[in-house]
């Protein structure tokens, strides 16, 4: 795969819209905080994310890269593989319940290719990439649909060889389904050229959330407080903190303008945000959450 060959990622809506799943982290926060996020959406649907460390914008960026790499080059493993190696891999993935009948998606690549696709300046910085992947792998997910509950990891499986940089990652069933598509399957399109050009963590966090509910060539209205919540899901009470967050969010919006988004501040702290036209013509179904801003989070301990 040539440099920057990936145009976009077909991402799972829940992983993009769950508030607090990815957020701005203070230095050292990972040492004393945990990931504990609950997102309720649709009709009697709920998903729980838990892990030993919170996830930041660096983790979001690496997951976007893995999802993008899976699009053109991922290995689709059917429920009934025909080869012995395929059968062993299928057993390795340990699919449960309905997931037994779903195709699995496996990404095979390298640390260097992943670092390049997400815009890392130093393509040889494999340590940061590895730490993000292993942090993502440690995240457990419980997905509930009505009375059915299904448990899996954010990354189903992971293996690497640091000597030659090779990387193998199996994506969870929700992400795999979004990538492969099909009737009534929803996905969110994230432009990887935009991802590579963004410079700051707040811009990356806001960008993914906006991609989650504004379709290419469409626009949506949002207030400054909502944009701040995309970066810092905890509500600030200190006026100085609120002011600083608002200033940071405004700077992040300027980064979006630089990559082609359109902004119209029609009232103080209220924007009409227009998303650029996508570079592929594939339309996606609209995510059917009742309101992308209605959510429930459990505070980190």
Q: Dihedral sign, CA of 197, 203, 208, 211?
A: negative
Interacting residues of 4 by C-beta distance below 8 A, sequence separation 6+? 116, 117, 192, 193, 196
pLDDT score, position 78: 54
Strands of the chain, DSSP E = 8-11, 35-41, 45-51, 75-77, 104-110, 140-145, 148-153, 155-161, 166-171, 188-191, 219-223, 262-267, 270-274, 296-297
Q: How far apart are CA 110 and CA 94, in angstroms?
A: 24
Contact 30/53 with Cβ under 8 angstroms?
yes
pLDDT score, position 93: 52
- Cα–Cα distances (Å) from 286 to 99, 240, 260, 274, 292, in that order, read 23, 38, 22, 16, 12
pLDDT score, position 297: 34
Q: Where are the domains of the chain?
A: 8-197+285-297
pLDDT score, position 80: 58
Q: Average pLDDT in the 243-249 region? A: 97
pLDDT score, position 260: 96
Residue 94, SS3? Answer: coil
The tens digit of pLDDT for each residue in 51-99 reads: 999 999 999 999 999 999 887 555 555 555 555 655 555 555 555 545 4
Q: How high is the mean pLDDT of the chain?
A: 82
Whats the size of the chain, residue-wise? 301
pLDDT at 1 over 70: no
**Position of tokens 């649907």?**
45
Task: Kindly tell me the burial class for residue 274, based on how many C-beta atoms sit within 10 Å of its own C-beta (0-12, 13-18, 19 or more).
Answer: middle
pLDDT score, position 257: 97
Q: Average pLDDT in the 165-182 region? A: 83
pLDDT at 100 over 70: no
Q: How far apart are CA 33 and CA 29, in angstroms?
A: 6
- Rounded to the nearest 5 percent, the helix, strand and coil shares of the chain are 40, 25, 35
DSSP character for 159?
A: E
Task: Kindly tell me the burial class for residue 167, based on how many C-beta atoms sit within 10 Å of its own C-beta (0-12, 13-18, 19 or more).
Answer: buried
**Structure tokens, 258:** 């630089």
Interacting residues of 206 by C-beta distance below 8 A, sequence separation 6+? 227, 230, 231, 249, 252, 253, 256
Does residue 105 or residue 117 have the better pLDDT?
117
Does residue 278 or residue 67 have the better pLDDT?
67
Interacting residues of 88 by C-beta distance below 8 A, sequence separation 6+? none
pLDDT at 301 over 50: no
pLDDT score, position 203: 98
pLDDT score, position 283: 35
Q: Average pLDDT in the 243-258 region? A: 97
Of 34-48, 132-146, 182-196, the one with minimum mean pLDDT is 182-196
For the entire predicted model, the pTM comes to 0.84
Q: Average pLDDT in the 91-112 region? A: 63
pLDDT at 148 over 80: yes
């Amino acid at each position: 795969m040539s440099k920057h060959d990936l145009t976009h990622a077909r991402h799972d809506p829940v992983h993009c819209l769950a508030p607090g799943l990815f957020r701005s982290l203070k230095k050292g926060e990972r040492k004393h905080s945990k990931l504990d996020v609950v997102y309720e959406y649709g009709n009697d649907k709920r998903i729980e994310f838990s892990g030993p460390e919170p996830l930041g914008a660096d983790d979001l960026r690496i997951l976007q890269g893995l999802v993008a790499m899976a699009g053109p080059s991922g290995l689709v493993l059917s429920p009934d593989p025909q080869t012995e190696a395929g059968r062993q891999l299928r057993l390795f993935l340990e699919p449960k319940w309905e997931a037994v009948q779903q195709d699995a998606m496996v990404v095979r690549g390298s640390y260097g290719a992943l670092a390049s696709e997400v815009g890392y300046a130093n393509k040889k910085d494999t340590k940061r990439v590895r730490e993000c992947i292993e942090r993502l792998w440690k995240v457990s997910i419980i997905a509930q649909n009505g009375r059915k509950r299904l448990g899996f990891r954010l990354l189903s499986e992971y293996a690497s060889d640091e000597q030659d940089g090779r990387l193998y990652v199996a994506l969870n069933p929700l992400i795999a389904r979004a990538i492969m598509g099909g009737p009534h399957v929803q996905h969110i399109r994230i432009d990887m050229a935009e991802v590579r050009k963004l410079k700051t963590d707040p811009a990356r966090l806001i960008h993914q959330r906006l991609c989650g509910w504004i379709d290419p060539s469409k626009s949506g209205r949002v207030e400054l407080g909502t944009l701040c919540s995309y970066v810092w899901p905890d509500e600030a009470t200190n006026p100085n903190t609120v002011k600083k967050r608002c200033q940071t969010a405004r700077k992040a919006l300027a980064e979006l303008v630089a990559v082609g988004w359109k902004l119209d501040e029609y009232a103080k702290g209220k924007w009409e945000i227009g998303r650029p036209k996508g570079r592929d013509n594939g339309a996606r179904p609209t995510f059917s959450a009742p309101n992308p801003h209605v959510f429930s989070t459990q505070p980190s301990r």
